[in-house]
Amino acid sequence: MIGYATIGTNDLERAKTFYDALLAPLGGARTFANGDRMQFYGSKETPGMIAVSKPYDGQPATAGNGSMFGLPAATKEQVDAAHAAGVAAGGTCDGPPGQRMPTFYGAYLRDPDGNKVCVFNMG
């Protein structure tokens, strides 16, 4: 249903390091870039993409209060691996991996710019 989501950053190189690490356990990788302002990520398994971008208007990027995006994982082990990789690459834990509901296993973290991410497995 979603074509892509754009995540603001104030330091594109730092954000790419974080998202390279976070998305690798989920099968995500860099797809294409728009100069030195934006980097897209995708996966062969899903049609949607994520873009990390410096704001077009030149103003500082800020994390939205209440904003979060979820990244599906095929297994609980992928959730654990993605969370660990994201924290190791400069993110901060915002909720360790665990069973949240009977059919929802998730982990929460914030990227280096403060954007909230959930990696989850349903089932």
Topology (CATH) of 4-56+68-122 = 2,3-Dihydroxybiphenyl 1,2-Dioxygenase; domain 1 (3.10.180)
Record the pTM: 0.93
The full set of domain ranges for the chain reads: 4-56+68-122
Rounded (10°) angle between helices 12-23 and 76-88: 150
- Beta-strand ranges (E) seen in the chain are 4-8, 29-34, 38-43, 46-53, 68-72, 92-101, 104-110, 116-122
Specify burial of residue 10 (Cβ count, 10 A radius: 0-12, 13-18, 19+): middle
pLDDT (tens, 9 = 90+) of the chain, 123 residues, equals 789 999 999 999 999 999 999 999 999 999 999 989 999 999 988 889 999 999 999 999 999 889 999 999 999 999 999 999 999 999 999 999 999 999 999 999 999 999 999 999 998
Tell me how far CA of residue 76 lies from CA of 7, 104, 111, 115, in angstroms: 25, 10, 20, 22
